[in-house]
Amino acid sequence: MSHSYRGYPDLHEHLEALRAQGLLVTIDQPVNKDSELHPLVRWQFVGGIPEKERKAFLFTNVTDGQGRQFDMPVLVGAMAGNRAIYSVGVGASLDQISNRWDQAIANPIAPKKVESPECQEVVLEGPDLIGSGNGLDRLPIPISTPGFDAAPTLTATNVITMDPETGVQNMGTYRAALKASDRMVVRMATRAGGAGGYAHYLKYQKLGITKMPCAIALGCPPCVAFVGPQKLPIGVDEFTVAGGLVGAPIQIAKAKTVDLWVPAEAEIVIEGYIDTEYCEPEAPFGESHGHIALEEFNMPMTVTAITHRSKPIVLSYISQVTPSESSVMKRVAYEPLFLSHLRDVLGIKGVQKVSLHEPLTNLRRVTIITFDNHVSRTEIWRALYGAANFKSDFSKVCIAINSDINPDNADALFWALSYRSNPIDDIQITGHRSMGHGPSREGHQQEDSTLLIDATIKKPMPPLALPKKEYMQRTQEMWENFGLPKLSPQEPWHGEVSGDWLGIWDANAQNAVEGRYLENGLISQTQRKKNIKPETKFRPDAKPKQD
């Protein structure tokens, strides 16, 4: 069925779009969800495969550690295995996504209430939730970090709660570890700035209400799934922003056993109540800061119903060490927010883009700001301070660079730090920042600090010492013709005329590659001088300095 009648694709239609664009791999062979499924997909993030070649994976023959077979397929990487997949989900090109989010937040659209939703084609309650193979134990939920995680854990969640005072719902992406066929433990972030669901939890406690209604939707339409991880202001109903993202009202339905509204096209909805009085140990679990999160007390949830489509797909995010699916999802949304803050709110001139470093840093720790050449020192430092203070748990390290440095290439960044920054002049350390999300919380450290680095060009510099592009391209073709190993060019992979470089030097270089270097020697012979100290700079358009 076409999604034109509702204005946005559900997960099944999104899957067909990925298949049509060659972005989906289907695995029909048996794969163990407890020990093989996530590690298999993980290889495309740690195996040297370029981001653009990553895929979504659909597993149609899922087993578990006890040899059981499941009748539901599992889908991983389908929301943001790479930026192209995210783009398909939003229905916009990457360069349009920033504007889409701005418009969605500025122009929310109220959801549409429907009867008989797809997500309730099958309803499991009472005895159907109890015992091995029933309830949660019937769902093929993968183990994310085999060898460390203590339980299968829901990761691709849209966790829905409601403010008991205002009636406004919140929808966030929080993990939930399976504990029994009718019980799991949910971790709602308590970090700086909090999370909407956790704010509701505190209100229920204050009111003396020991059970908080909760619904966890799995496999939502992409536009709904994307608002879960997005850090929207507290009190904003994410359904309205999801509607703004696609320009159409999101269809919602009343849950069966709790007083909440859920996405009508979700694959699976788990309903129940979170205990606001007792907490239960949860984890270990591989976290996105790159370490295993150790056991801690979190929120038990008793399941009252599981509803699902007649042929549901179990969606799972691959997270843990970045880069990952969840980091791509956040990066595509967060980077435009940082750029808009620096350019539009603070009015800083010369900012080209903001990049949040992915590998091993969970986006939150390292923020890189790219500037035009010749931007004033004042604007660079305003931007560094602005990025460092934009979000409380982001930008522990802020680095300013120029456009010739690829922010995704750590070697290029180290080169800029080495040759374009003087630590005593270009580095500042500030205190009193939030500890944020990371393993340091285990040591009860309360505060962190910020490192700001100006690694931009301070004066015209000679070109990068790599052959010009035309020579690198020519020899790349030769490399391929010789049958040598496949190349994955890493920027910068060629030099270009820029900075401190004269036309006469270009001409001399051209003579050299044409085998006429002797002509250059004849010219330099006429430019000899007496009483000149070796290594005195010489420019053909200026007299050399006398010692």
pLDDT in tens, 338-355: 898 999 899 999 999 999
Q: What proportion of the chain, given as a percentage, has pLDDT over 70?
A: 94
**Rounded-to-integer distance, Cα 158 and Cα 174, Å:** 7
Residues 305 and 350 placed together within one structural domain of the fold? no
Contact 48, 321 (CB under 8 A): no
Q: In terms of pLDDT, which residue wins out, 106 or 35?
A: 35
Residues 387 and 440 placed together within one structural domain of the fold? yes
**pLDDT tops 80 at residue 227:** yes
Residues 173 and 251 placed together within one structural domain of the fold? yes
DSSP 70: -
Task: State how many domains the chain has.
Answer: 2
Domain interval for residue 450: 346-454
Q: In terms of pLDDT, which residue wins out, 4 or 50?
A: 50
Q: What proportion of the chain, given as a percentage, has pLDDT over 90?
A: 69
- CA distances (Å), 84 to each of 51, 157, 219, 383, in order? 9, 21, 19, 29
Residues 196 and 279 placed together within one structural domain of the fold? yes
Residues 411 and 307 placed together within one structural domain of the fold? no
Q: What's the whole-model pTM score?
A: 0.84
Residues 294 and 376 placed together within one structural domain of the fold? no
Nearest to 322 by CA among 331, 312, 332: 331
Mean pLDDT of 6-16: 95
The domain boundary residue, chosen from 438, 454, 470: 454
Residue 496 inside a domain? The answer is: no
The domain boundary residue, chosen from 454, 471, 499: 454
DSSP 228: T
pLDDT, mean over the chain: 90
Residues 214 and 358 placed together within one structural domain of the fold? no
**Rounded-to-integer distance, Cα 94 and Cα 80, Å:** 12
Residues 233 and 97 placed together within one structural domain of the fold? yes
CATH code, domain with 115: 2.30.110.10
Residues 148 and 225 placed together within one structural domain of the fold? yes
Name the strand (E) or helix (H) holding 170: strand 169-172
- CA distances (Å), 116 to each of 55, 121, 252, 305, 391, in order? 34, 8, 10, 16, 41
pLDDT in tens, 168-194: 999 989 999 999 999 999 998 765 556
pLDDT in tens, 125-138: 999 999 999 999 99
Nearest to 429 by CA among 379, 363, 385, 383: 385
Residues 271 and 391 placed together within one structural domain of the fold? no
CATH code, domain with 361: 3.40.1670.10
Residue 86 inside a domain? The answer is: yes
pLDDT at 439: 56
Q: Give the pair of three-digit tokens for residue 3.
A: 């999604």
**Rounded-to-integer distance, Cα 367 and Cα 363, Å:** 8
Residues 247 and 352 placed together within one structural domain of the fold? no
Q: What are phi and psi of 439, to 5 degrees?
A: -70, -15
Residues 307 and 351 placed together within one structural domain of the fold? no
